[in-house]
Amino acid sequence: MHWFQKTIKLPVYKRGFHLITNIVLRELPEIQQIRTGLLHVFIQHTSASLTINENADSTVRSDFEAHFNRAVPEDAPYQHDYEGPDDMPAHIKASMLGSSVSIPITDGRLNLGTWQGIYLCEHRDEATPRKLVITVYGV
């Protein structure tokens, strides 16, 4: 059994949904050594999240952003507002989507569906560089 783990720092992304699959793959070439295994990606932040979805049509990403902004409005009466009006909504959105994704590895490649990719979901207007802990294990 092989185990690899690395923490990577993403560049700053503007608020929205961003494909990061290629960054993850570039940072972890060890995946190519795994015949059967699992990739786990965890984000070390409470105001950004990860998900897997459409990797081809960018309108999916803009529709995600629009929907989440309607579902979790910034003008609700939140108590937690120390870092601005987008702070508490960002925490809620991150909890809705989650802090990690797991993807099977088959024959040295991520076994994603044809139209699937890993998204960084950035929920803050003034984002900071985000850190991901990437763990790979398998044979």
DSSP characters for the chain? -EEEEEEEEPPP--SEEEE-HHHHHHH-GGGGG-SEEEEEEEE--SSEEEEEEESS-HHHHHHHHHHHHHHS-TTS--S--TT-TTHHHHHHHHHHH-SEEEEEEETTEE---TTEEEEEEE--SS----EEEEEEEE-
Average pLDDT over residues 7-19: 98
Q: Please give the structure tokens belonging to residue 85.
A: 């009006």
The average confidence (pLDDT) of the chain is 97
Residue 81, pLDDT > 90, answer no
Containing structural domain, residue 60: 2-138
The CATH number of the domain where 36 resides is what? 2.60.120.460
**Which residue in 100, 8, 120 sits closest to 55, CA to CA?**
120
The answer to whether 120 and 21 have CB atoms below 8 angstroms apart is: no
Q: Count the domains in the chain.
A: 1
pTM of the entire predicted model: 0.96
Q: What are 37-69's pLDDT values in tens digits?
A: 999 999 999 999 999 999 999 999 999 999 999
Distance between CA atoms of 17 and 97, rounded to whole angstroms? Answer: 12
